[in-house]
Amino acid sequence: MVKTAWKQTKASDAVFWVLDASKCFLYGDYMPPSPELDGVSIGAVVEDSWWLHPELAEELAFLRKLKRSNMKVSVVLNKVDLLRDMAVDVEDFTLKMREQLSSDLGRTQDGEEILDNIWPTSVLKDPVSLAPIKRWLCENLPKQSPIYPLENISDVPARVVASEITREKLFGVLREEVPYHLTVVNAVWRQEPDGKLLLGQKVVVATEGQSRIVRAWLRQITEDAEREISGTLNFGRSVELHFQVQVDPKWAENEEYYEDVQGLLDRSGSLAFP
């Protein structure tokens, strides 16, 4: 999934990197750029020293990928309300982060700074702080006619919604590691003349143990999933769900599961899954 997301950045009009301001304040500046003794440098400069605290490992990985991408990046410095709770001057810290990020991200092959903008925000506590980002998007992104009809409430195809409804129901009953190691793929989608929807879905998991757990719960969630799919997608008409549980240890590394989000449909296949 992450690989697919990184591939899409090349075709993006804007790239945003969201950072947790409180993490940067608490764990940043962990190491000096070079070892010092009594204020005198005594060793070689350490690359990306500011991000080397273990709590910033994910941020460091993103930093290095962004440096290699040769694309301009805007940073959203979120959760600044936590800085205020720690009596940190948000404006001063934002200036420090701009200087640090500008230095660590470096420049593109054309000599331009990779860091384009930095916005301090608090999405949860201060939604108004997002206004500068929205304004920048309106002023800088390409203008075009709507891709989808204005009356549409979602750009998600019905088949995606159906698989996500089933996945959500499974997430609600499964515990520990299983929920996030499964995906749901529509294998059969058949509309009967009377409006009844016959839907066959494959639930893909990583291990045999997970498959046994999922099979045990599928009967429990089927009626609830059918009811929601009926009301959401089939105008209240009947829905009949059938499932097949499939084990694929490396499904999460298979790009097909992310590129074909509508499902690998087989209109001729049998709904009587083994």
**Which whole number is the average pLDDT over 153-173?**
83
pLDDT, tens digit, 9 for 90 and up, residues 114-151: 999 999 999 999 999 999 999 999 999 998 887 766 66
Tens digit of pLDDT for each residue in 203-241?
Answer: 999 999 999 999 999 999 999 999 999 998 888 999 999
Full-model pTM:
0.62
Q: What pLDDT, in 10s, does the model give residues 241-258?
A: 999 999 999 888 887 776
- Angle at which helix 90-105 crosses helix 57-69, to 10 degrees, equals 50
What does the pLDDT look like over 22-34, one tens digit per residue? 999 999 998 888 8
Q: So what's the pLDDT on residue 165? A: 94
Cα atoms in the Cβ-side hemisphere of radius 13 Å centred on 79: 11
Q: How far apart are CA 188 and CA 265, in angstroms?
A: 5
Q: Report the DSSP pairing between strands 239-247 and 197-205.
A: parallel
Task: Answer whether residue 199 shows pLDDT above 80.
Answer: yes
| Average confidence score pLDDT of the chain | 87
Can you give the pLDDT at residue 179? 73
pLDDT in tens, 44-72: 889 999 999 999 999 999 999 999 988 99
The residues pairing with 143 across neighbouring beta strands, listed in sequence order, are none
Q: Give the C-alpha separation, 152 to 82, whole Å.
A: 37
Is the per-residue pLDDT at 264 higher than 50?
Answer: no
263 Rama class: left (phi>0) / alpha (psi -120 to 50) / beta:
left
The answer to whether the beta carbons of residues 51 and 63 sit under 8 Å apart is yes
DSSP 45-99: PPTTGGG-SGGGHHHHHHHHHHHHHT--EEEEEE-HHHHHHTT--HHHHHHHHHH
Predicted pLDDT of residue 261: 52
Order of strands, edge to edge, in the sheet holding 73-78? 16-20, 73-78, 115-120
